[in-house]
Amino acid sequence: MIKNSFLFAVLFLTSTALLAQQNITVEDIYTGTFRTQRLQSLESLHNGTEYIVLNYNRDRTQSIDKYSYATGEKTGTLVTSSDLKLPIRNYILSDDESQVMIISQSEQIFRRSSYDVVHVYNLATKELTAVSDQPVRSPGLSPDGKKVAYIFENNIYYKDLASGKVTQVTTDGKMNALINGVTDWVYEEEFAFVKAYQWSPDSQQIAFISFDESEVPEFSMDVYGSELYQKPYVFKYPKAGEKNAVVGLHVYNLLSQKRNEINLNRSEEFYIARINYAPNGTLTAQVLNRHQNVLDFYMVDRSGNARIGFTEKDDAYVDVTDDLTFLDDNSFLWTSEKSNWRHIYHYDANGKEQRQITNGNWDVTSYYGYDPASKRIFFQSTEDGSINRGIYSVKLNGKKKQKLSSKIGTNNASFSSNFTYFINTYSSATQPPSYTLHDAVKGAIVREIKNNDGLLDDLKGYQFSQKEFSTINVNGNDLNMWMMKPNNFDPSKKYPLLMFQYSGPGSQQVLNSWYGANDYWHSMLANDGYIIACIDGRGTGHKGADFKKVTQKELGKYEVEDQISAAQKLGAMDYIDADRIGIWGWSYGGFMSSNCILKGNDVFSTAIAVAPVTNWRFYDTIYTERYMTTPQENASGYDENSPINHVDKLKGKYLLIHGSADDNVHVQNTMLMVEALVQANNQFEWLIYPDKNHGIYGGNTRIHLFNKMTDFIHKNL
């Protein structure tokens, strides 16, 4: 009798605990219930012992404040919005830290670009100078702090801060025809930069890239707004195989006021993916052929003579990064995956390779910089395994490598300017982000700055599923995988399976880091009775360049094969219902989920595609041709793996979602997919979000979107 009473009590308490926990809702996710505390973006001062932060204060003012690394205590204030009588939306500190460029208003253009209202504030004289009476683009102070350059109506200008004189550097800029000093749409999106000019170290030259896009085809999309008539938005967008902007490299001399175009001695089409000055005034340019499998590193002397310092080639493509640091002797550090893994290399001032500094079957995933005092290089890598990130330092000669992080998971570092300290942001699949200050010599913790332990306490009130990491052997490869199960998982039952992936070249979704919004949603679905799985197939990153580049010229072939094979293998498990397997993804992931339900129509019963590419012929030149070459050269690669050409295979339930104002993956992809499905007489569901871009957000949009997807999964999977 006593034993039975005890058993009843245990069962009662267990049931009560489960009832006390509520499942996560979409509203919880997108109204901030699980928001993590973050460290504000900071900038190290030259002394290496202090940093500055833009603070948004309770009285609705903003201030740029100084803090001590060692103590975290506030040590002063550079300027406040009250001092300026202007809001501070962003700022840029001058090289000598005597002036601050203040951005008080900003209007976004595309993903990285904006129109800004800019002033320069002198910290000594307290003088505030307007850069222009109009919003400008990509403002930049000269190294000597005496001038500020900017782009207005596709032309470059600079203002002398002492005299107020404005000089117009270029005059041929014209909207949708020719751009000077900032990138066009496709460069901004795919080469990930906007500011296409650089001041020389002595402030006497401005090097810049020009973009003649007069022959680039235009794309038009309607913006509906709230007016009686919609308005067309027209911009230059080169689709695969079409004409790109013709680029040129120029140098403007402030003393002679003359502009000189640099002769790169090239007859074929090319991209200028980066420009940088060395300390001695040598201008460098990273120039790619259109196929992006040959990168020439140009060096241009003060007279404008250009030569190729070195060339890097690859059978597939050469990635462009910002991993370039010039040393005082004008030699430089550079990263490359020419050994099949991304590693750090040292080149002399003439572009001759001196040594490979790091080595091993792992990737350098972030390059943080070089400390000339200790002659040490600081970097992040996958030495703890491809799903983890650790922080390391190594001598310039490649010796005495030292691990500076101590926890397994994802470690990201932000170093002080003199490499005395670094702030480590750590998270894992079980630990939300924590921020700690470390010394950069041995990695020892100086102090904890902030943690999110309170979030873990809050999550105890919810049915929260953890990720289980493993590998799955598919098509001869051990692929990284995570899985989520319901908290009350019963291995004797059968569960439907929902797979999530992105799968784009070099990407990674299986990472030992804290949860994002999608992960909370997956946890919600798990506790609604689903198994959730994510597999990084061939073509994804951090398992070697050969693994990543196997998809070359056939995007959507091997990646789809891996997802189908993985689904079949998972479907054979005792607790998974092989007749109820779904897949979803966004962007490249939507391209993949569409292909999977079509090519794998006997495996997948349900799919959701958000903002998908449905035909690579519709996407831009730089991204698409990097992996596929042109449609003219590789028609079969484009057509055999584009979902729009396989609509007749649809058997399962398919949901297609897009934003009408997606400047990246145009809604054209969905519209023509819809027409193809209709003509194939296949039933499906679709949803268009008016005036929403590739991210599909704003107001209640994300809540509506994820509730729609939740209902679709509950109904069909």
Scan for tokens 């908290």, then name that residue.
487
Average pLDDT over residues 72-77: 95
Average pLDDT over residues 62-85: 95
Average pLDDT over residues 374-389: 97
Q: Taking 90 as the threshold, does the pLDDT of residue 84 lie above it?
A: yes
- Give 625-683 pLDDT, tens digit per residue: 999 999 999 999 999 999 999 999 999 999 999 999 999 999 999 999 999 999 999 99
Average pLDDT over residues 524-531: 98
- Give 412-433 pLDDT, tens digit per residue: 999 999 999 999 999 999 999 9
Pairing of strands 434-439, 445-450: antiparallel
Contacts of 666 (CB under 8 A, 6+ apart): 219, 221, 237, 618
Name the residue among 448, 455, 462, 399 with its Cα closest to residue 432: 455
Average pLDDT over residues 620-627: 98
Average pLDDT over residues 129-134: 96
Average pLDDT over residues 113-141: 96
Three-state DSSP class for residue 565: helix
Buried/exposed 310-341: b ≥16 CB within 10 Å, e otherwise:
bebebebbbbbbebbbbbeeebbbbbbbbeeb
Domains for the chain: give ranges and CATH numbers.
Answer: 20-33+456-716 (3.40.50.1820)
Confidence (pLDDT) at 1: 35
Confidence (pLDDT) at 41: 83
Confidence (pLDDT) at 523: 98
- Give 305-354 pLDDT, tens digit per residue: 999 999 999 999 999 999 999 999 999 999 999 999 999 999 999 999 99
Three-state DSSP class for residue 205: strand
Contacts 24+ apart (CB under 8 A), 115-123: 116/90, 118/148, 118/150, 119/84, 119/86, 120/148, 120/161, 121/79, 121/84, 122/98, 122/161, 123/78, 123/79, 123/97, 123/98, 123/99
Confidence (pLDDT) at 5: 41
Q: Taking 50 as the threshold, does the pLDDT of residue 10 lie above it?
A: no
Query: For 389, which DSSP code?
Result: B
What is the rounded CA–CA span in Å between residue 213 and residue 235?
10
Confidence (pLDDT) at 3: 41
- Give 246-280 pLDDT, tens digit per residue: 999 999 999 999 999 999 999 999 999 999 999 99
Name the residue among 186, 251, 173, 241 with its Cα closest to residue 212: 173
| Mean pLDDT for all residues in the chain | 95
Q: Taking 90 as the threshold, does the pLDDT of residue 40 lie above it?
A: no
Q: Taking 50 as the threshold, does the pLDDT of residue 14 lie above it?
A: no
- Give 475-488 pLDDT, tens digit per residue: 999 999 999 999 99
CB 531 within 8 A of CB 496: yes
Confidence (pLDDT) at 19: 53
Contacts of 282 (CB under 8 A, 6+ apart): 299, 300, 301, 302, 330, 349
Token pair listed for 341: 């893994």
Average pLDDT over residues 140-155: 97
Name the residue among 297, 305, 302, 306 with its Cα closest to residue 335: 297
Q: Taking 80 as the threshold, does the pLDDT of residue 588 lie above it?
A: yes
Average pLDDT over residues 557-583: 98
- Top pLDDT among 267 and 11 is at 267
Confidence (pLDDT) at 652: 98
CB 385 within 8 A of CB 391: no
At 39, is the pLDDT very low, low, confident or very high (cuts 50, 70, 90)?
A: confident
